[in-house]
Amino acid sequence: MKSLFKFAASGLISSAVTLGLTAGLHELGSVPETVSAALGLLAAFSVNFFVLRYFVFGVAGSLTRQLVSFAASSGFFRLAEYAAFLGLHALHVNYVLALVLVLAVSFFAKFAVSRVIFGGLGFGSVARFVLAGLAVVLLLVVGLMVHFFQRGAAPSAW
């Protein structure tokens, strides 16, 4: 339970990086909302890895294995989050609110996956990992569906 609270704290740091950079680039730099959101999510990657490895889980396992696993899962999560953001953006949800909603939904799935990567959760707990994966896939599918439907693309055109 302690690691969940630390993970939540790391999530607040990551969210602050994502939201701060996204809003700053858009509001101060006139960068388009979709581009600034992508850059904000990308910037959170480095912060997340080091905070999770050293603060949340405090493990000393293989840095290379953890970095590769984290990069793969983070890439997948970031794509899913960005797809969900695009879907909400296509529905004309305010971009800051859209990011907050997306980050909140993906929180628990990322916690389960991070526990597997950093050694706090054995692979024997497959049910949690599968549920986390399903949550990510759901984010990705819904985001892409809404985005393409908003643009008028029929499902057969995907």
19 lies in which domain range?
2-157
Half-sphere exposure of 146 (CA within 13 A, CB side): 18
Least confident of 57-61, 86-90, 135-139: 135-139
* Separation in Å, CA 78 to CA 39, 59, 106, 107, 131: 11, 24, 10, 12, 18
Query: What's the token pair of residue 69?
Result: 């696993």
Question: What is the tens place of the pLDDT at every residue in 112-142?
Answer: 788 878 876 555 554 555 566 666 667 766 7
Total domain count, the chain: 1
For residues 78-94, average pLDDT: 87
Residue 24 has what pLDDT? 96
Q: Rounded to 5 degrees, what angle do the CA atoms 9, 34, 114 make?
A: 30
